[in-house]
């Protein structure tokens, strides 16, 4: 604890007072801070020194912040500043007083299908607006999604797919975790991706929430794909009333080839809305008195 406090005190970020270290992520450390000019809380993301010496990594880190700062959507974490200071590259962003979906998946499982479907509709809707503004998330995972108390979602960590080659080099716990949600094409050409990569990630997140199990991170895309397809079949008995619609949605999200997936989020939303109606109708039938 003393060492952590000493490190925090040694960090001086202009106009900000660091309150605590939240966590270490793959390429940055996340701190909670207070803006001394307006007394508002902020998140500080400080690029890991291992990447700070690589000009390409620094450019992509700051360029991702620049792209995200242009997104006009109150369900995307706002970027206030990104800058270099004392050889540290810092992104100053909106503070979110909520847990990530990653945490909630463990604490609130199982979630009712109606709620899960509503959450996926919300996620797909946010992503569609982001895509229409020319930005792809690229590395969507439950740790980059905040679940608010009213079940509103907030997206964070957009445009971090530049770290993908480094995941393969380091193969640490977080790297393996991120591969659970990574579209196959991201493995092979991290700069050559489009919105269909995010659709794959939505499918992987939805499947994990439905299956209520942790996937085993795989660096082998074929093994990972086979694992996901096998998991789809496992949920058939649990959701037998909606098995056909669920399997169709998941299969169209998780196509190995992007051409075999939903080609845009508008079409995915149609599938999710169909599922939502089915679930509501089934609930209505269950509530009918006997003899009606």
Task: Dump pLDDT digits (tens) for 243-258.
Answer: 999 999 999 999 999 9
- The DSSP bridge partners found for residue 34 are 17, 41
Question: 41 lies in which domain range?
Answer: 11-94
Strands 28-35, 16-24: pairing kind:
antiparallel
CA angle, 153 as apex, 139 and 98 as ends, to 5°? Answer: 100
Q: Provide mean pLDDT across the span 111-131.
A: 96
Q: Provide mean pLDDT across the span 268-278.
A: 97
Task: Single out the residue in 48, 63, 94 at which a domain terminates.
Answer: 94
Strands (E), the chain: 16-24, 28-35, 41-47, 79-85, 88-94, 99-100, 145-147, 153-155
pLDDT for the residue 62: 97
Please enumerate in sequence order all residues whose Cβ is within 8 A of that of 29, keeping only pairs 6 or more positions apart, or say none. 21, 23, 45, 46, 48
Q: What is the largest CA-CA distance in the chain?
A: 75
CB 90 within 8 A of CB 82: yes
Order of strands, sheet of 153-155, starting from the edge strand that comes earlier in the sequence: 99-100, 145-147, 153-155
Domain-embedded: residue 3: no
Task: Report, in this order, helix, strand and coil percent for the chain, each rounded to 5.
Answer: 50, 15, 30
**Percent of the chain residues topping a pLDDT of 90:** 66
- The reply to whether 63 and 145 lie within a common domain is no
**Four-residue CA torsion sign, 107, 206, 159, 50:** positive
DSSP state of 82: E
Q: Which candidate, 265, 260, 250, places its Cα nearest to that of 130?
A: 265
- The reply to whether 104 and 89 lie within a common domain is no
Digit-coded pLDDT (tens) for 185-201: 988 776 679 999 999 99
Task: Single out the residue in 94, 120, 153 at which a domain terminates.
Answer: 94
Total tally of structural domains belonging to the chain: 2
In this predicted structure, which of 52-56, 156-160, 185-189 has the lowest mean pLDDT? 185-189
Task: Single out the residue in 94, 113, 143 at which a domain terminates.
Answer: 94
- The reply to whether 178 and 250 lie within a common domain is yes
- The reply to whether 16 and 120 lie within a common domain is no
- Cα(27)–Cα(217) distance, rounded to whole angstroms? 18
CB 133 within 8 A of CB 70: yes
- The DSSP bridge partners found for residue 90 are 46, 83
Q: Domain containing 54 — which CATH number?
A: 3.30.200.20
Going by pLDDT thresholds of 50, 70 and 90, the confidence category of residue 54 is very high
- The reply to whether 126 and 57 lie within a common domain is no
Domain-embedded: residue 291: no
Element (H, E) at 264: none
pLDDT for the residue 4: 42
Is the model's pLDDT at 86 over the cut of 80? yes
Ramachandran angles phi, psi of 108, nearest 5°: -120, 20
Domain-embedded: residue 187: yes
Reported pTM = 0.90
Q: Domain containing 263 — which CATH number?
A: 1.10.510.10
Going by pLDDT thresholds of 50, 70 and 90, the confidence category of residue 71 is very high
Token output for 223: 């093994």
Domain-embedded: residue 128: yes
Q: Provide mean pLDDT across the span 73-79.
A: 97
Domain-embedded: residue 278: yes
């Amino acid at each position: 604890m003393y060492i952590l406090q000493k490190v925090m005190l040694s960090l001086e970020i202009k106009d900000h007072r660091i309150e605590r270290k939240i966590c270490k992520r793959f390429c940055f450390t996340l701190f909670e801070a207070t803006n001394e000019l307006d007394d508002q809380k902020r998140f500080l993301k400080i690029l890991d020194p291992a990447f700070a010496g690589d000009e390409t990594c620094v450019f992509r880190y700051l360029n991702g912040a620049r792209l995200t700062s242009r997104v006009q959507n109150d369900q995307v974490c706002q970027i206030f500043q990104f800058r270099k200071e004392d050889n540290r590259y810092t992104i100053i962003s909106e503070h979110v007083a909520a847990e990530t979906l990653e945490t909630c998946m463990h604490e609130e499982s199982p979630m009712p299908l109606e709620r899960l479907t509503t959450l996926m509709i919300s996620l797909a809707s946010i992503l569609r607006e982001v895509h229409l503004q020319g930005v792809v998330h690229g590395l969507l995972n439950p740790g980059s999604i905040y679940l608010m108390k009213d079940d509103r979602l907030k997206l964070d960590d957009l445009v971090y797919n530049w770290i993908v080659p480094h995941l393969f080099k380091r193969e640490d716990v977080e790297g393996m975790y991120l591969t659970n949600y990574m579209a196959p094409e991201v493995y092979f050409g991290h700069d050559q991706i489009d919105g269909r990569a995010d659709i794959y990630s939505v499918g992987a997140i939805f499947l994990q929430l439905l299956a209520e199990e942790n996937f085993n991170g795989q660096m082998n895309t074929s093994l990972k794909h086979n694992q996901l397809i096998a998991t789809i079949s496992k949920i058939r008995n649990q959701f037998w009333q909606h098995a056909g619609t669920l399997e169709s949605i998941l299969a169209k999200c998780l196509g190995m080839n992007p051409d075999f997936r939903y080609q845009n989020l508008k079409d995915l939303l149609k599938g999710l809305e169909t599922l939502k109606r089915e679930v509501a109708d089934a609930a209505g039938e269950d509530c009918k008195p006997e003899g009606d």
